[in-house]
């Protein structure tokens, strides 16, 4: 694997039903850390609802492809770093492939030499058909030329920072993904699911899946600083 330029531009794909505004603090924190530019892929709630079907994934990944092409124009290395939160991280694994999907061949690994996933449900005993397809066709770090970094969060459900929603829903979510309600996770995705096989791994303490789950999440500036520093190490 060739070294990754720490200043190359970044494209962020968010998670299910979360619109681009929620990721602007994350983007700004990465810019301040030295990235040439950071672009958040625009995805509406309707767009996310359509991802129950393959054409919905294609709609989103077409926008990822357009964002990457835009960012390549300002990349001295010719490469772009991808950041995917939650379901976005799983979808970006598909974007890296040059195999046909819904009439498209994205081949993102030619243009993106690093993928960072944040609380993404990579491995699950019960996954949606499309997420299961990704893990079956592109298991683990499928592209050796890409630096895969998987970040997981651990949320103490008894802590003040955990929301009432996460306290009610975490056990059910953990059970549906791993079969065990007692595992640790970020309030939605268990640590074991978020740590993609053979990737570089980081587990962030006191980190929730999103703002709905706790006051500090992967996109909070102090958490961005922690995982971005690890990514560049």
Task: Judge whether 121 and 131 are in contact, CB under 8 Å.
Answer: yes
When pLDDT is averaged across residues 46-68 and rounded to a whole number, the result is 98
**Fold that domain 10-231 belongs to in CATH:** Rossmann fold (3.40.50)
Summarised one tens digit per residue, pLDDT across range 149-176 is 999 999 999 999 999 999 999 999 999 9
pLDDT reported for residue 54: 97
**pLDDT tens readout for residues 176-190:** 999 999 999 999 999
Q: Which of 21, 56, 59, 58 is nearest to 40 (CA)?
A: 21
Dihedral sign from CA coordinates of 57, 18, 70, 195: negative
Tell me which residue of 26, 55, 59 sits closest to 42, measured CA to CA. 59
pTM over 0.85: yes
Dihedral over Cα of 106, 218, 202, 175: its sign: negative
- So where are the chain's domains? 10-231
Distance CA 104, CA 157 (A): 42
Residues 6+ apart with CB under 8 A from 186: 119, 152, 153, 154, 155, 194, 207, 208, 209, 213, 217, 218
Judge whether 95 and 22 are in contact, CB under 8 Å: no
% pLDDT > 90, the chain: 98
Q: Which residues pair with 114 in a beta bridge?
A: 81, 147
CA-to-CA dists, residue 125 to 175, 178, 180, 215, angstroms: 9, 6, 11, 29
Instruction: Note the pLDDT tens digit of each residue in 127-152.
Output: 999 999 999 999 999 999 999 999 99
pLDDT digits (tens, 9 = 90+) for 70-126: 999 999 999 999 999 999 999 999 999 999 999 999 999 999 999 999 999 999 998
Q: State residue 1's pLDDT score.
A: 77
pLDDT, residue 126, reads: 86
Residue 124 has a pLDDT of 94
C-alpha distances in Å from residue 24, one per residue of 36, 41, 88, 167: 15, 11, 16, 27
Tokens matching residue 18: 């979360």
């Amino acid at each position: 694997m060739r070294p990754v330029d720490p200043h190359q531009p970044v494209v962020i794909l968010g998670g299910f039903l979360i619109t681009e505004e929620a990721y602007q603090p994350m983007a700004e924190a990465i810019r301040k850390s030295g990235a040439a530019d950071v672009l958040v892929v625009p995805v509406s709630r309707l767009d996310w609802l359509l991802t129950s079907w393959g054409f919905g994934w294609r709609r989103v990944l077409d926008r990822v492809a357009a964002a990457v092409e835009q960012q390549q124009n300002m990349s001295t290395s010719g490469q772009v770093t991808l950041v995917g939160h939650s379901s976005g991280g799983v979808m970006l694994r598909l974007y890296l492939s040059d195999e046909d999907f819904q009439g498209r061949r994205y081949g993102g690994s030619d243009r993106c030499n690093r993928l960072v996933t944040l609380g993404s449900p990579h491995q699950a005993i019960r996954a949606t058909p499309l997420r299961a397809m990704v893990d079956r066709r592109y298991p683990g770090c499928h592209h050796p030329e890409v630096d895969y970094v998987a970040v997981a969060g651990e949320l103490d459900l008894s802590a003040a920072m955990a929301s009432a929603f996460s306290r009610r829903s975490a056990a059910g979510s953990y059970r549906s993904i791993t079969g065990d309600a007692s595992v640790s996770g970020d309030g939605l995705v268990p640590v074991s699911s978020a740590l993609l096989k053979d990737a570089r791994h980081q587990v962030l303490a006191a980190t929730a899946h999103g703002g709905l789950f706790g006051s500090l999440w992967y996109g909070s500036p102090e958490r961005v600083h922690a995982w971005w520093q690890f990514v560049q190490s």
